[in-house]
Amino acid sequence: MSRVSGTLCAARLRAGRWLCFATLSGFAFGCVEQADEKPTKEDEEFVKTNLLASAPTMQFATHADLDGKVEYLGLDVTPNPAEPGKDVHLTHYWKVKVAPSDGWRLFTHVNGPNKQGFINVDHGPVSGKYPVSRWKAGDIIRDQHSFRLPPNWASNSFNVYVGLWRGHERMAIKSGPKEEDRVLAATVPVQVKGPPTLKRYLVRKTLKPIKIDGKLDEPAWKAAPSTGMFVNTMTGEPAQPNTEAKLLWDNQNLYIAFENVDTDVWGTLTERDSKLWTQEMDEVMLDANGDGKGYIELQVAPNGTIFDTYLPTYRKYEDSLDPKRKPYDWNSKLKAAVKVDGTLNKREDQDKGWTAEMALPLADVNGLDTNGVKVPPALGDKWRLNMFRMDSPKDAKAQTALGWSAPMVGDFHKLDRFGEIVFVDDKGELPTAKDSAEKGGKKDEAKPEPTGKKGKKDEAKPAGKTAEKTPAKK
């Protein structure tokens, strides 16, 4: 480990205080119990409101007996059914028969069917104000807490498990539904929504070549429709900061433009094929023939630095074709320009945004694939493509990922979630069957400028190529 780092945290429980520390460089972890902390008057009042005179009617009545000492009465869940990406509120009810001895603690787990998707929702009972060590015989305890069901939750239910633990043991369950010394409190239905519809975009043909300068001032750009705002890559919901794109084509190039709202525009990586995804960038992934195998990946940073690579299959790079190759040694002839509305790399001021404009030669859309799509495309041809943006403002704790067609998982390389682009004429239209009949069914006769054999790689390699890529951003 090249960098020494450490974390110091303190966690307090009403049964006592625990000082926990972890040192990553030394791989050490420890907890030291501190002196008990006396509950405040406010704590005591809050606890009283959650000690009930009798058990209420519950959505999920369980009545599990834990070693003759404690009975888990049941559970209320709101909302029911639950929804992915939203908070789930749990209200547990416990009845104390015999006060548990010191050392016992409460645990709460959530699992999908067949133990899929484990979520630890452990917490101190009654908001941490009434630990198990203070429970008294005769208590009927109401314990409320919440957790958020992951937005990509795919199962139509989840199980809630509860129990008491101490050291390496769990309190035995004498009766009631259980799994592995855990009380099965409830199986909660989930209203699973289908994934968002895949995006579709009509790419207009430009009758004049586009000048790549980052300005987007040509009439063709002004007439081109927007993709609409990019969305949260995990949920498909609207997301900030605002990002949108436009596309054009001619017989030589596929043109892509990103317009990014950004209050802190920066990028310090200047070498081609640097790990741009670790800072800020716009990205295009193109699986032109939609076979879910070979595809290309293009990125442009706010300072104009380019990353491009060919992947013969999912997350495999050029060296998987030939061990003598290195990852990212395929270079497109991509041209890119950026215009910043603000000051690049001046982190203390407020910027407005940046625009990235790209021209990808059609000869490069197949990467190294010799069985890719024909170029130029005919009117009506469809390709599979996705677009992403990574934003990393100065004071943010984590990067923000936005996408055109949401992958719904933490992986930009989700090829079956790529959107579809359709090639149309300069008016945004496709020829009708009547038009085709009048023209004898002939397709667009326009030919691209000579660019060499389709799929042939650029033999020139820029200096300073890296042989390592960590796909942490996807």
Q: How high is the pLDDT of residue 115? A: 78
CB 220 within 8 A of CB 427: no
How far is Cα 396 from Cα 375, in angstroms, rounded to an integer? 43
| 285-316: b (≥16 Cβ within 10 Å) or e | bbbbbbeeebbbbbbbbbbbbbbbbbbbeeee
Neighbours of 51 (CB within 10 A): 14
Q: Of 54-58, 160-164, 446-450, where does mean pLDDT reach its minimum?
A: 446-450
How far is Cα 236 from Cα 198, in angstroms, rounded to an integer? 10
Query: What average pLDDT score do residues 28-42 get?
Result: 57
Q: What are phi and psi of 228, to 5 degrees?
A: 90, 165
How far is Cα 303 from Cα 280, in angstroms, rounded to an integer? 10
> In the chain, helix, strand, coil percent, each to 5?
10, 35, 55
Question: Dihedral, CA atoms, 408, 411, 417, 421, nearest 10 degrees?
Answer: 120
| Mean per-residue pLDDT of the chain | 86
Nearest to 117 by CA among 157, 87, 75, 86: 157
Beta strands in 1-133 (DSSP E): 6-13, 16-23, 28-33, 60-66, 70-78, 87-96, 105-111, 119-120
Nearest to 383 by CA among 247, 194, 197, 220: 247
- Token look-up 């400028």 returns 449
Q: How high is the pLDDT of residue 9? A: 37
Query: What average pLDDT score do residues 370-385 get?
Result: 96
Neighbours of 170 (CB within 10 A): 18
Question: Dihedral, CA atoms, 322, 325, 328, 332, nearest 10 degrees?
Answer: -80
| In CATH, 40-189 is 2.60.40.770 | yes
- Token look-up 């579809």 returns 420
Q: How high is the pLDDT of residue 436? A: 53
Two tokens, residue 85: 């990406």
CB 301 within 8 A of CB 281: yes
How far is Cα 19 from Cα 33, in angstroms, rounded to an integer? 7
Q: How high is the pLDDT of residue 463? A: 35
How far is Cα 418 from Cα 421, in angstroms, rounded to an integer? 10
Neighbours of 64 (CB within 10 A): 21
Q: What residues does each domain of the chain span?
A: 7-38, 40-189, 200-438
How far is Cα 358 from Cα 154, in angstroms, rounded to an integer? 37
The pLDDT tens digits of the residues spanning 86-120 come to 999 999 999 999 999 889 999 999 999 887 889 99
Q: How high is the pLDDT of residue 439? A: 53
Is residue 446's pLDDT more than 50?
no
- Token look-up 């010191």 returns 102
Contacts of 354 (CB under 8 A, 6+ apart): 260, 262, 265, 302, 338, 339, 340, 341, 342
CA 175 to chain centre: 41
Domain 200-438 class, CATH top level: mainly beta
Query: What average pLDDT score do residues 434-446 get?
Result: 49
Question: Which helix (H) or strand (E) covers residue 200, if one does?
Answer: strand 200-205
Two tokens, residue 273: 């094929």
Query: What average pLDDT score do residues 390-412 get?
Result: 93
Query: What average pLDDT score do residues 242-259 get?
Result: 98
Q: How high is the pLDDT of residue 438? A: 57
Residue with the bigger pLDDT between 32 and 239: it is 239
Contacts of 297 (CB under 8 A, 6+ apart): 283, 284, 285, 307, 308, 309, 310, 311
Question: Which helix (H) or strand (E) covers residue 185, if one does?
Answer: strand 182-189
Length of the chain: 474
Query: What average pLDDT score do residues 144-163 get?
Result: 93
CB 52 within 8 A of CB 149: no
